[in-house]
A and B are shown apart, each in its own frame.
Chain A
């Protein structure tokens, strides 16, 4: 029993250094939702129901720009496709747990919880790994929801002149650079950006989907070329 608790606390402690990045991100997610006209309940709702910052901000941004519902949902889900990889990578560590437990661990899955756990899983006692993950993921969830709530409460009191909506693309910008890891991903980012600019007049923000798709294809092509050359 105490070893479970130790693993849980270890996980919770392991995420503390990244909380500094999570708190402003969550606050902006709360503020942004209020700024585009969500009620407080709706702004908290998206945070609990979706619990994925980049997808939430993209959805909030698109709803604020009156994009059609289908574009909002598709864009958010495309951003979250990366969770397939995390899910596959973590699945062996969670096998044997009851379905409800696995469902809870899946709901709590984030970039940060995945990154912290999978690095820690290099060593450590096999049977308590899911407790380590649970500690890390739950800590992130609690801090995320608290900071979002603060943002939601602040949101209405922040003057329009502060242009805080600009914090949304800035947040994406901060996430973009770590995502560019090599030449092919740079090609993917550059092509998607260029396509998005060229297609920004397309109705219903379809340009975004087109640009994302084009960028992914360009990345794959660039990688194929690199492999041939090597």
Chain B
């Protein structure tokens, strides 16, 4: 990690302050606040879009490596994806992915 300590702390404070203001927003200005339906419509896609954009590259191109079918993270991610889809359990998803990765790395 190349970030120097003061930059790192400023980054954390920036995220923390921004996050707090988002959380406080409507609670602060008090409640007749409904988020306008158009905005709500857009916001509801944020989790699915961001999470998917975070997940896929780390399975397909781990550590910026070029695509390779021999990359164990690709297959471990696939197994974990099936488990996540069927069980919706965080514990089982992590367990399935980690165990698959360890087994594939031993091959």
Contact = CB atoms under 8 A, between A and B. Distances in A.
Interface of A: 20-21, 24-25, 28, 36-39, 42, 45-46, 49-52, 54-55, 58-59, 61, 63-66, 69, 72-73, 75-88, 90-95, 99, 102-103, 105-107, 109, 162-164, 166-180, 184-186, 188-197, 200, 207-208, 211-216, 218-220, 223
Contacts of A91: 26-27, 29-31, 33
Interface in B45-96: 45-61, 64, 73, 76-77, 80-81, 84-85, 88-91, 93-94
B56 A193 contact: yes
Given A38-B1, A170-B97, A176 B84 contact: yes
Nearest to A166: B101
A55 B15 contact: yes
Contacts of B84: 173-174, 176-177
A108 to B, nearest CB: 9
Interface of B: 1-3, 5, 7-16, 18-20, 22-35, 39-61, 64, 73, 76-77, 80-81, 84-85, 88-91, 93-94, 97-98, 101-102, 105
Given A24-B91, A188-B45, A219-B45, A168 B27 contact: no
Contact of B11 (A59, A184, A190): A59
A49 B13 contact: yes
B48 A180 contact: yes
A75 B18 CA distance: 11
Given A85-B40, A85-B43, A163 B105 contact: yes
Q: Is the interface of A mostly helix, strand, loop or mixed?
A: helix
Given A176-B51, A184-B45, A189-B52, A42 B97 contact: no
A43 B103 CA distance: 30
B94 A24 contact: yes
A169 B16 CA distance: 22
A24 B81 CA distance: 18
Given A166-B76, A173-B80, A190-B52, A88 B34 contact: yes
A208 B54 CA distance: 7
B15 A78 contact: no
A72 B55 contact: no
Nearest to A102: B27
A61 B26 CA distance: 30
A223 B41 contact: yes
B7 to A, nearest CB: 6
A207 to B, nearest CB: 8
A169 B55 contact: yes
Contacts of A94: 27, 31
A112 B29 CA distance: 23
Given A87-B24, A163-B105, A173 B49 contact: no
B33 A88 contact: yes
B90 A45 contact: no
Contact of B48 (A106, A163, A170, A192): A192
Given A80-B19, A167-B98, A188-B45, A175 B90 contact: yes
